[in-house]
Amino acid sequence: MTRNRREKNPPERPPTRPALRAAPRRKTRAAAPSSEAGPEPGLRELRASIGNLRAAAEALATMAIPRPEGSARASRPAALLQAVLEEAERASRAVDRLAQELNGQSASPAGGSVVSAGLFAAELARRAGAELDLAVHVAGAIADDLSVPLTFADPVLGALGRLRRDFNVGRVELSARRHADLLALEIAFSAREPEASRLREEHHTVLAGGARGEPSLGAAARAAGGEAWLAIRRGEATFSLRLLLPMPAAA
């Protein structure tokens, strides 16, 4: 009997999957250098640093241990602190000149109306008396060629409101002058204890914005290319709120 050989069927193999191919790399564009966004962010940061340097120097002056007058130990720290303040002001002026050269335009807020410093002081005094029950005395005559962006009325009122409600300040003295190529506004006042001690510790709240939602004076000053800080006179309960701004074009 002839045996027929049965051919065995080969075992079924699982279907082969196509080989995975690496996805083609897309050419990514390098991030644009920060200079393409303009110099404003860097200038604002530099101005803020200068303002912090000045505030720290003035705070150190208030904390300095009094020494006998005429001694070398008394005169040398005071001279060094004064040099720091003068260099901070000189650096601030240099930054303003650089900003004008880079931008080719005035540093006053866009779209904001500009009024004379005398009218600004009068309006500030009127609103402070009516809204805050705070007396604002204008110290001396204000030059006619000085001008202030009107947008600063609300931030300044917010800071004055903080002084009135939180630290019981009832009267301030406002002055305006030209400081090199900058506009300097100063609001001087005194505070009694215990508010004076608390103000030394919480001075940053004055620039942080008003209790009624007014914008921050510190932020508004930096946005306009300037600085705002609270100066404390050593050994006295006398303070001054200072605002330094690039000189805007007259209206």
CA distance 217 to 209: 6
**pLDDT of 186 over the 70 cut:** yes
Lowest-confidence segment of 36-40, 163-167, 176-180, 205-209 by average pLDDT: 36-40
**pLDDT of 16 over the 60 cut:** no
Amino acid type, 31: A
Tokens coding 128: 């402070």
CA distance 246 to 182: 5
Tokens coding 79: 């001279």
Q: What pLDDT shows up at residue 109?
A: 43
Lowest-confidence segment of 32-36, 113-117, 168-172, 245-249 by average pLDDT: 32-36
Ranges of beta strands (E only) in the chain are 114-116, 135-138, 147-149, 171-179, 182-190, 227-232, 238-246
Average pLDDT value over all residues in the chain: 74
Q: How large is the average pLDDT for residues 79-86?
A: 70
Q: What pLDDT shows up at residue 249?
A: 56
CA distance 160 to 5: 110
**pLDDT of 111 over the 90 cut:** no
Tokens coding 20: 């995975």
Please list the helix, strand and coil fractions of the chain in percent, rounded to the nearest 5, in that order. Answer: 45, 15, 40
Contact between 230 and 159 under an 8 Å Cβ cutoff? The reply is: no
Torsion angles phi and psi, residue 231, rounded to 5: -95, 140
Tokens coding 227: 């600085």
More confident residue, 177 or 57: 177
Contact between 49 and 225 under an 8 Å Cβ cutoff? The reply is: no
User: How deeply is 193 buried, as exposed, middle or buried, from its count of CB atoms within 10 A (0-12, 13-18, 19+)?
Assistant: exposed
CA neighbor of 92 nearest in space, from 186, 188, 179: 179
More confident residue, 34 or 216: 216
Lowest-confidence segment of 2-11, 154-163, 178-187 by average pLDDT: 2-11
Domains annotated on the chain, with CATH:
40-64+74-246 (3.30.565.10)
